[in-house]
Amino acid sequence: MTAAEPLIIVVSGPGGVGKGTIVTALVERDPKLWLSRSWTTRVQRAGESSAAYVFTDRAAFEARIDAGGFLEWTEFLGNYYGTPNPEIADGRDVVLEIEVDGARQVKALQPQAILIFVLPPSRDEQERRLRGRGDADHKVAERLQKAELEEPIGRELADYIVVNDDLERTIDEMIEILHRCRSGGAST
C-alpha cells in the first residue's frame, strides 16, 4: 500500500472570524500540518508579524502570476493575495488560510481538498474583532460588507462549517475533522 496523498485543508471565512489564530494554533497542535505562507501586496499592519505573509509589490506579484507560480490568487479589496505553489517534500498535510474566491479555485483544481468555512458567532462579535486589529472605520465597514457577500459562497463550497464561538472548542472541532478526514471519513 502506498502512503496516503497529503491532504489539502482550506480554511476560509469572513475577515475578523479568527482564521489566522485558528490555523496558527492548529499547526502548533498537529506537527503533521504544514501552513502555507501567502504573498500579498497589502501593507503590513502595525503589530503584524513580518512572517504573516510574503509582503511584496504589484510588479513582483504580477511577475509571479505570469511565471505560473501560484496555486491560486485573487484580488481582495484592492490588494493581491496568492498561494505559492506548495513545495513540501515531507508528506505533511497542507493548510491554506484564504478567502472564498481562492477556496473556489483550489476546489476546482483539487476537488479532494477539504474546505472548512469558519463563521463568527455574530456580526457584532466579528465587528468587535475587526476593530480590535486597529483597522480604520472605513476599512472595517468595507470588510463587513465583503463578509456579507462571502458568507453564502463559503457555505455553498464548504465541506464543514465551524462557528468560532470559543477558540479552544473550535480548534478541538477542527482537529476532530482532520482525524476523520485522515481516516477516510466523509463530511457531514
Residues near ligand 5GP, by CB under 6 A: 15, 19, 38, 42, 72, 74, 76, 81-83, 97-99, 101-102
d(CA 113, CA 63): 27
Among residues 98 and 178, whose Cβ is nearest to ligand 5GP? 98
What are residue 81's phi and psi, to 5 degrees? -135, 140
Nearest approach, Cβ of residue 19 and ligand 5GP (Å): 6
**Which set of grid coordinates corresponds to residue 14?**
469572513
Longest dimension (CA), the chain: 55
Nearest approach, Cβ of residue 138 and ligand 5GP (Å): 15
Among residues 93 and 97, whose Cβ is nearest to ligand 5GP? 97
The DSSP code for 147 is H
Among residues 102 and 120, whose Cβ is nearest to ligand 5GP? 102
Nearest approach, Cβ of residue 128 and ligand 5GP (Å): 16
- Chain residue at closest Cβ approach to ligand 5GP: 102
Among residues 93 and 99, whose Cβ is nearest to ligand 5GP? 99
Nearest approach, Cβ of residue 74 and ligand 5GP (Å): 4
Within 10 A of 50 (CB to CB), how many other CB atoms are there?
Answer: 8
Place of cell 508579524: 49
Angle at 125 between CA 15 and CA 95, to 5 degrees: 35
**Which set of grid coordinates corresponds to residue 31?**
506537527
Q: How far is CA 181 from CA 17, 58, 59, 66, 122, in A?
A: 23, 37, 39, 34, 28
Place of cell 505559492: 84
Nearest approach, Cβ of residue 31 and ligand 5GP (Å): 23
Among residues 92 and 133, whose Cβ is nearest to ligand 5GP? 133
